[in-house]
Chains A and B, each alone.
Chain A
Amino acid sequence: MSTEAIAPPRPGPPLRALLRPVVGPLVAIVIATLVGAALVAALGQNPIEVYSTLIEGGIVGWPNLSVALQMTTPLIFTGLAVAVSFHAGLWNIGAEGQMLVGALAAGIVGYAVPLPPVLHVPACLIAAAFGGLLWASVPALLRVYLNVNELVICLMMNPIALLATGFVATHALKAPGPTNKLPDILDSAVLPNFSLFSQLNAGIFIALACCVAVAIVNAMTVRGFEWRIMGLSPRFAYYGGVNVRRNAVAVMLISGAIAGLGGAEQVLGVYKAFYDNFSPGYGFDGIAVAMLANSNPIGVLFAAFLFGALSAGSGVLQMMTGVSKYLVQVLQFIIVLVLAAQFSFAWLFGRKPAKPSARVSVARSVEERTGTEKVG
């Protein structure tokens, strides 16, 4: 393994290089599919029939597709929020809480601040982004100035957000009626829906725009460059003169703002009011989406659509075969599990033979882990 042996000039076959980041997620999906098939068979159903119904119900025909896209939209927001932070080596797993706070902000501005339609939606969006940003600022600042693990704080901020927004929706600003919700937003704040079959709404374009914007920032700007380096090797970034603190705060705030926008989409486009506890866990699904997407903003679109289509297919699956909604959740969990396993596998063994020095191999384990996943 001298100079020549270890590093043959490798422009590399471009196709393989392109496919490399997709391999891990595909393996996860295939394994999940197989395990799911075994489960279905064990339940006495025909796996092929179940899967074809699932696919049919997920994507075939506008009714199903529009439902899939409705389910996809919040996952794009939360997945992108998590991906932005993962990309910079930060663990913002508080998208759920940030989304709730953002949704509440949008819900309040949506019903309480009468504005002309051109201004009302943007005002709600800004309020939501600000709400999410505010909620993310707690872990961000604690992380940067007191070196408290942001993962733990994010995790704790989630139930706090649920309870705090719940308080507002059930007490402080509750709309009359049996449901715990804020009053309906004004018509001027509604994001238009496209279809009767679902509450798919203009929010999906905001989600797409966010993905494109993040992709551009990541790929083309100085900040994106610095975030990428921070994500792959924080010590190298620091050594190299990157203002790691300021960037970390910025990333967390942006991540929170995106999650908050996701809340706005739900309130302005789907529910037309802030409902207590409206999210069935979009923020947590977002973590899975980001993992599946390899933290790539464009990958987030595909990963979110996969999960969204699975949810949509799940509805039809229940109608047609009576297979429980849990099948789809099991599939999602297995995908996440396999991805996590790949993650730790790479972390434990590395993809390259470790040099004999124990010191080096321990030291680089962290980079190895994220590194081998991301390069290619």
Chain B
Amino acid sequence: MTGAGPERVALCNIAKSFGELVAVDDASMSIRRGEVHALVGENGAGKTTLMNILYGLLSRTSGDILLDGTPVAFKGPAEAIRAGIGMVHQHFKLAPSFTVAENIILGSEPLSRLGQLDRLEADRRTRALSQRFGFDLDPEAIVGTLPIGLRQRVEILKALYREAEILILDEPTSVLTPQETRELFATMRSLAANGRSIVFITHKLKEVLAVSDRISVMRHGRIIATTGNSGVSAEQLARLMVGRPVLMRVVKTRAHPAGAAALKVENLTVIGDRGETAVADLSLAVRPGEIVGLAGVQGNGQDELVQCIAGLRRPLSGRIEICGTAVAGREPLDCRAAGLAYIPADRGRVGLSRASRVWENMTLGHQAEFARGPFLAARSARARSAELIRRFDVRGANVDTPAASLSGGNQQKVQLARELTRAAAIILAEQPSQGVDIGAIEAIHRILVEMRDAGRAVFVISADLDEIFALSDRILVIFRGRIVADLTAEETDFEEIGRFMGGIEGPSAGLGRATASSNLDAGDRVY
């Protein structure tokens, strides 16, 4: 890890504001030839915004960009690409129904003499490129059928096809299994060794330390430190990111599950939005006093399973019991009455009304407590919310603040406050720390553990293995709609879980290609 090449890019005092909101504030960093440069920071620190400015997606309010010492001002990504800058976004911009080759050449197609798309030439070039970088991609494969890890390679290859010298990867590991992550890191290193520069945006500190040459830390829109990799610890980085010491792992005692299962799922089969079997004959149980974590690569049926438990989706067959009440196919109202508290991953649409005030968000589902005849005792509801804001340490909010103006972590706390104050026996927590600042993750995890200790059953669904391990007493792995492993947290490790997640081990071993197409949604499509 030398990373001592000449400077390619210099970002000087870049600032960007959206109206009153300052997203990037006087940030400066440099990118050298042949280095992997990690850009870390909490959600909303301005990492992606800064890189979008470099890539020409956003204009800057002030500051300069120097490319090889020459000032540049890209009007759009097309100009940035011509200058040798490539970017792979967190959500891929691929056409799922096109082949790998078609996706790669899209926008700079090789044309035959008659001006038609030269398909053979496209395949040939894709294959050559793929071999050159050791990517092992079939040019004729349909992108929609590829697992996420391979799709990411298509994105990277697409940038390399356009001769990107400087490659920006935005949170590339958030969708990968540990094995896929390792492969990605190998690719990144080999690209750097080839003289390319990689900017690696992430908030996962272990990964930063594993792959980067240099690390820049962003906080509040500023680059507050740039350091070499050696001699830095994850705790130090976390402290820089958050601005205070952070406890990296919650302290918890051994679980004491007791009594009958609070949540019981039996032989559940669910058809997904595209008519596929998303959940196949799945059974599981969560008992009071334990935290069960459900691990799996996104798009393996977790969403559908959770929606069925919450009453938001109707299963094809099977039973779901919440505290002994059969709720499969019933409405959310019924599931809640049976004893469910649900913290959805989709805060923006499902778990909160962004435009509503905090007290309204905290009161929904608790109307009965504040009903005085037909009237709503708004004053007591607000008083309770004020109390919850204190208890759950929701920062920067009073009862009348619109939920949308809270940060991800504080929105999550609003959800938690509402759901956990229900007299619920089973807490269904879906991606509880997604999009949440490191500092807040700590608090959220602590709260969930407290709930377990208070005798509630907690079911955590997360794509983040760190989180699964931090919380769970028992870990289930879901792969293609089935539970392929049921392991005690203390007796397993990342490697084993990762193998189950990738389908390499377990009942479906050998079927290496996950049907990850369900990960696509409208936002991923480019057409």
Binary contact track B333-350/A, C-beta < 8 Å → 1, others 0: 100110000101010111
Interface residues in B377-425 (C-beta closer than 8 Å to A): 378, 395-398, 400-402, 404-407, 409-410
Q: For A367, what are the chain B residues with a Cβ–Cβ distance below 8 Å?
A: 348-349, 353-355
* A147 CB within 8 Å of chain B: no
Which of B18, B364, B367, B405 contacts A7, CB < 8 Å?
A: B405
Q: For B351, what are the chain A residues with a Cβ–Cβ distance below 8 Å?
A: 236, 239
* B323 CB within 8 Å of chain A: no
* A375 CB within 8 Å of chain B: yes
Contact present for A371 and B404 (CB under 8 Å): yes
Contact present for A242 and B523 (CB under 8 Å): no
B406 to chain A, nearest CB (A): 5
Give the interface residue-count category, chain A. 35 or more
Interface residues in A172-217 (C-beta closer than 8 Å to B): none
A201 to chain B, nearest CB (A): 31
Contact present for A375 and B375 (CB under 8 Å): no
Contact present for B355 and A374 (CB under 8 Å): yes
* A11 CB within 8 Å of chain B: yes
With CB as the reference atom, state the residue of chain B lying closest to A361. B523
A354 to chain B, nearest CB (A): 9
* B104 CB within 8 Å of chain A: no
* B522 CB within 8 Å of chain A: yes
Contact present for A4 and B363 (CB under 8 Å): no
Contact present for B524 and A359 (CB under 8 Å): yes
Contact present for B23 and A353 (CB under 8 Å): yes
Give the interface residue-count category, chain B. 35 or more
Q: For B221, what are the chain A residues with a Cβ–Cβ distance below 8 Å?
A: 1, 5
Interface residues in B284-338 (C-beta closer than 8 Å to A): 310, 312, 331-333, 336-337
Q: For B172, what are the chain A residues with a Cβ–Cβ distance below 8 Å?
A: none
* A362 CB within 8 Å of chain B: yes
* A333 CB within 8 Å of chain B: no
Known: A233-B355, A363-B348, A371-B354. A238 touches B332 (CB 8 A): yes
Majority SS at the chain A contact face: helix
* A42 CB within 8 Å of chain B: no
Contact present for B405 and A6 (CB under 8 Å): yes
Contact present for A372 and B332 (CB under 8 Å): no
With CB as the reference atom, state the residue of chain A lying closest to B364. A240
Which of A221, A226, A361 contacts B375, CB < 8 Å?
A: A221
Contact present for A6 and B353 (CB under 8 Å): no
* B269 CB within 8 Å of chain A: no
Contact present for A10 and B90 (CB under 8 Å): no
* B106 CB within 8 Å of chain A: no
With CB as the reference atom, state the residue of chain A lying closest to B378. A220
Which of A4, A229, A237, A362 contacts B523, CB < 8 Å?
A: A362
* B42 CB within 8 Å of chain A: yes
With CB as the reference atom, state the residue of chain A lying closest to B42. A2
Known: A352-B18, A357-B91, A367-B349. A238 touches B312 (CB 8 A): yes
What are 10 A-B contacts with C-beta separation under 8 Å? A2-B220, A225-B363, A235-B349, A236-B351, A238-B332, A239-B332, A352-B405, A353-B49, A357-B523, A375-B404
Q: Which 9 A-B pairs have the closest CB atoms?
A: A371-B355, A7-B396, A359-B523, A353-B18, A233-B353, A1-B44, A240-B364, A358-B523, A356-B48
Given A6-B44, A225-B360, A368-B404, 9 more pairs with CB closer than 8 A? A7-B407, A10-B396, A236-B349, A239-B312, A239-B350, A352-B18, A356-B170, A361-B523, A371-B404
